[in-house]
Chains A and B, each alone.
Chain A
Amino acid sequence: MKTFSELKKNLKKDFSKLKASKVAVLGDTSTQFLTQALRGMGFEQEIDLQIWESDFSQIQHQVFDRESELYDFKPEIVIIFQSSHKLLGKYNKSKLDQTTQFADNEIEIIENIYSELFKQLNAKVIFYNYTEIDDSIFGNYSNKISSSFLFQLRKLNYELMILASENSNLYLCDISSIQNKIGKINFFQPSVYINTEMVLSIDSLPEVAAKTVDIICALTGKFKKCIILDLDNTTWGGIIGDDGLENIQIGNLGIGKAYSEFQYWVKKLKNRGIIVAVCSKNTESVAKEPFEKHPDMVLRLEDIAVFIANWENKADNIRHIQSVLNIGFDSMVFLDDNPFERNIVRQNIPEICVPELPEDAADYLEYLYSLNLFETVSFSNEDIERTKLYQIESKRTSLQQKFTNEDDFLKTLDMVSLVESFNKFNIPRVAQLSQRSNQFNLRTVRYTEADLEKLCSLNDHFTFSFTLEDKFGDNGLICVIILKKENDQTAFIDTWFMSCRVLKRGMENFALNTISNFAIKHGFKKLKGEYISTLKNEMVKDHYINLGFNSNGNYWELPLTDRKEKKSFISMKEKTI
Chain B
Amino acid sequence: MDRNTVLKQVNDIFIDVLENKTIILTDQTTASEIDEWDSLNHIHLVVSIEKHFKIRFTSKEIQSWKNVGEMINSIMEKISP
Contact = CB atoms under 8 A, between A and B. Distances in A.
Contacts of A196: 39-40, 43
Given A5-B17, A9-B19, A196-B40, A189 B47 contact: yes
Interface string A4-22: 1100110010000000000
Contact of A195 (B16, B17, B63): B63
A4 B44 contact: yes
A191 B56 contact: yes
A235 to B, nearest CB: 40
Contacts of A194: 59
Interface string B31-42: 000000001100
Given A4-B44, A202-B47, A191 B17 contact: no
Contacts of A33: 40, 44
Contact of A198 (B43, B48, B59): B43
Contacts of A4: 44
Contacts of A12: 19
A5 B48 contact: yes
Contacts of A32: 40
Interface residues of B, number: 16
A303 B58 CA distance: 56
A192 interface: yes
B59 A195 contact: yes
Contacts of A5: 16-17, 44, 48
A190 interface: yes
B11 to A, nearest CB: 16
Interface string B2-18: 00000000000000110
B10 to A, nearest CB: 15
A22 B53 CA distance: 39
22 contacts: A4-B44, A5-B16, A5-B44, A5-B48, A12-B19, A32-B40, A33-B44, A190-B59, A191-B46, A191-B62, A192-B43, A192-B46, A192-B47, A194-B59, A195-B43, A195-B59, A196-B39, A196-B40, A196-B43, A201-B47, A202-B43, A202-B44
Given A5-B48, A202-B44, 17 more contacts: A4-B44, A5-B17, A8-B19, A9-B19, A33-B40, A33-B44, A189-B47, A190-B59, A191-B56, A191-B57, A192-B46, A192-B47, A194-B59, A195-B59, A195-B63, A196-B43, A203-B47
Interface of B: 16-17, 19, 39-40, 43-44, 46-48, 56-59, 62-63
Interface of A: 4-5, 8-9, 12, 32-33, 189-192, 194-196, 198, 201-203
